[in-house]
Amino acid sequence: MNKLFKAIFFLLIILFFTACSNKNIEIQDLKTYSQNPNEYLKNESFTFKNQSSYNKRFYKNYFLVWDNPKIEISKKDASWGFLYKNKQIYLQNYSKASKQWFNNQIQNSNFKEFKSKLQKAITIKNSNIRVFPTKQMMFYNPYNAGQGFPFDYNQNSFIKINTPILVSHLSKDKAWAFIKTSSYFGWIDIRNIAFVDEYFIKKFKTNNYAVAIKDKFNIYKDHFIENIQLGTIFPYKKNKFFIAVKDKNQKAFIKTIKINKNYISLKPLQFNSKNLRKIAQELIKEQYGWGGILGFRDCSSFTQDFFSSFGIYLDRNSKQQIKNGKYYKIKNFTSENKKKFIIKHGKAFKSLIYLKGHIMLYIGNIKGEPLVMHNVWGVKTRVFLNKEGRNIIGKNIISSLEFGKELETYENMNTVLDKIEGIIILDER
């Protein structure tokens, strides 16, 4: 009886700590610091040096795959995702991906045809960009914190309607196209693109462009076309906006649509306090979306879209974005010296703070605390038997660099502040 009592007691302890580990607590920073971006834009005037030249550079990158239709990386680099076959991967039903499953994906990827097509195209729908040519999801161990949904490792990125692309080749089943964009490669559903010719390109490149400044609104032309994200580019002419559509031969042609004037602006949007408030307000509290999954943003797509409205080009992932401005390496500083350096050299709403796998927009400081706006999944924790956990946030927030440190289970051995590697100033070169 004594042994039974001990067993039951031990089981209750396990259940108690498991329950605690799964409980999400609102972090204190969300109460301490206003989640209204307007509060941080009240008393300063903002400008951006050489905004016009940055905007020209933006279009150079945007149209790069049409103006210079080359794929310069090797087949090995393009097929980097094949390395997942050597790892333990779970599918969306939590079953382990078999060797045969990976062999099927690799065979369908058809990389013997790599660079064989090199055909210019354009997206006609918002689309997921996949690592393998399949909609199926890939997770590390989904029973561990931070390794299940939404961390689908087959989700490479997300691409907006009206984006120029270059097609390398098609999958063996012809259902997917392997494409190059201005800053990444991956697989897109063939139904979501149309092929372009020089006549289309000449018409589409009007040299007059507008940008969506409202997030997630619908556009129509007799019927629903797409749910538009902030940062989507539209050529325009005589107050009509261009979208790419396809004919029965999958050839692109242009339709003109009307868009609510409050949802769109001529590009670039002037970099000032009023417009910064408008864009930040649209993006704050947006749900977190790893790789753009379900049409939501992760950390680097938030920073990318935030600046695109102002004609400032950022690459797609956090590591690439450190190359988009003047980078100051502070990895080996003490935590206190990191804060001091950021406050001294950082420029509010014009600087990014980088750590491996995450990037944040610096928005200023309050009483010696650097503050950031960032889309974040959660706070790392340690729970029962030192098992790694997560206190989920799952949205775009304003916080300090030590958000969640008050949690009893906070992982304080290696904090976000500890892991910061550098700061990027975007209007310095």
Q: For the segment 136-167, what is each residue's pLDDT rounded down to a tens digit?
A: 999 999 999 999 999 999 999 999 999 999 99
Neighbours of 424 (CB within 10 A): 23
389 beta partners:
381
- For the segment 96-115, the average pLDDT, to the nearest whole number, is 98
Closest CA to 365 of 384, 339, 390: 339
- Residue 386: its pLDDT value, please? 73
- Residue 2: its pLDDT value, please? 59
Q: Give the whole-angstrom CA distance, residue 240 versus residue 211.
A: 13
Angular region, 324: left φ>0, alpha ψ -120 to 50, beta rest: alpha
pTM above 0.85, yes or no: yes
CATH code linked to domain 52-206 = 2.30.30.40
- For the segment 79-87, the average pLDDT, to the nearest whole number, is 98
240 beta partners:
237
* CATH H-level, domain 20-46+283-425: superfamily: endopeptidase domain like (from Nostoc punctiforme) (3.90.1720.10)
Residue 191, token pair as written in the block:
């139904």
Continuous segment of H or E residues that includes residue 327: strand 326-329
User: Under 8 Å CB-to-CB from 357, ≥6 apart: which residues?
Assistant: 318
104 beta partners:
none
Number of residues assigned to the chain? 429
Q: Give the whole-angstrom CA distance, residue 351 versus residue 362.
A: 5
- Residue 384: its pLDDT value, please? 74
For the chain, where do the domains classified as CATH 3.90.1720.10 start and end? 20-46+283-425
Distances (CA, A) of 141 to 117, 159, 167: 37, 27, 33
Considering the chain, what is the average pLDDT of its residues?
Answer: 93
Alpha-helical regions (H) of 153-242: 198-204
- Residue 240: its pLDDT value, please? 93
Q: Which residue has the tokens 């904090």?
A: 415
For the chain, where do the domains classified as CATH 2.30.30.40 start and end? 52-206
Q: Which residue has the tokens 């977190």?
A: 288
Task: Identify the three-state secondary structure at position 249.
Answer: coil
- Residue 12: its pLDDT value, please? 42
- For the segment 264-275, the average pLDDT, to the nearest whole number, is 96
Q: Give the whole-angstrom CA distance, residue 262 versus residue 217.
A: 11
The mean-pLDDT minimum among 242-251, 335-344, 365-374, 413-422 falls in 413-422
User: Under 8 Å CB-to-CB from 344, ≥6 apart: which residues?
Assistant: none
Assess contact for 423 and 372: CB atoms under 8 A: no
pLDDT band at residue 412 under the 50/70/90 scheme: confident
Task: Identify the three-state secondary structure at position 222.
Answer: coil
Residue 287, token pair as written in the block:
């749900």
pLDDT at 392 over 80: yes
- Residue 59: its pLDDT value, please? 97
